Structure 1
Amino acid sequence: MQVIGLGTDIVEVKRIEALSQKPGALSRLFTQKEIQYSLARKNKYEHLAVRFAAKEAVFKALPFAEIAFKNIQVTNLENGRPQVTVADERAKDLVILVSLSHTKEYAAATAVVQK
């Protein structure tokens, strides 16, 4: 496998908290699965923010630029490891690795795309 893209992003948690107060904002950016997962957590805005950062990192790493944020989904495997799926035919042969981290103030993510 060859690395074809690398992306990283950091976001302030309070920015995503403020964004989430706007009607329809969450459903424009996140899948229903991401929203349900994050809102069920104690630190819901941290979880939303780290997913937003992951989507940005993946967007930057992908070899094509036209993709909706909602088509990039960040979930967790049973062991807690993050997993990214991209709902786009152009991504079918790509392997996307992502690392997530968050505190009360910031959320960060790095994505590597391989083919």
Structure 2
Amino acid sequence: MRTALKATLVLGTICTTLIMGGFAALALWMIFAASAAAQLPDIHKDIVYSKVDNTELKLDLVQPPKGDGPFPLIIWIHGGAWQFGDRKEYHDAMTNLAKVGYVGAAIVSMVEFLNEHLMKK
């Protein structure tokens, strides 16, 4: 009987420790998730940087969430083989790099340019 009681106490202690540890881990995760959300990079979409035959050429810019800079700049120029894709495909990569101190800019692809340019004619 004593062995069963000891085993029950040990098991109860282990379960309590795991449960309390789980709550502590959850609390820490919630704190870090909230602080990470507060540190999201600034995203500026559809910035006009030039015009060609009345068609606006646009870029999307992602900046680090804090700091005065200067920051290194990475420019994505998507070509799409004249068939597919656009600058929005780089938002995730630019956001991840902005979190570690880079500015990302993705300029209009030739596909986007041709589609917009031909639609206006």
**What TM-score, normalized by structure 1, do the two folds share?**
0.28
Instruction: Calculate the TM-score normalised by the size of structure 2.
Output: 0.28
Between structure 1 and structure 2, the one with the greater Rg is 2
Greater strand percent: which structure? 1
Greater relative CO, 1 or 2 (CA 8 Å, sep 6+):
1
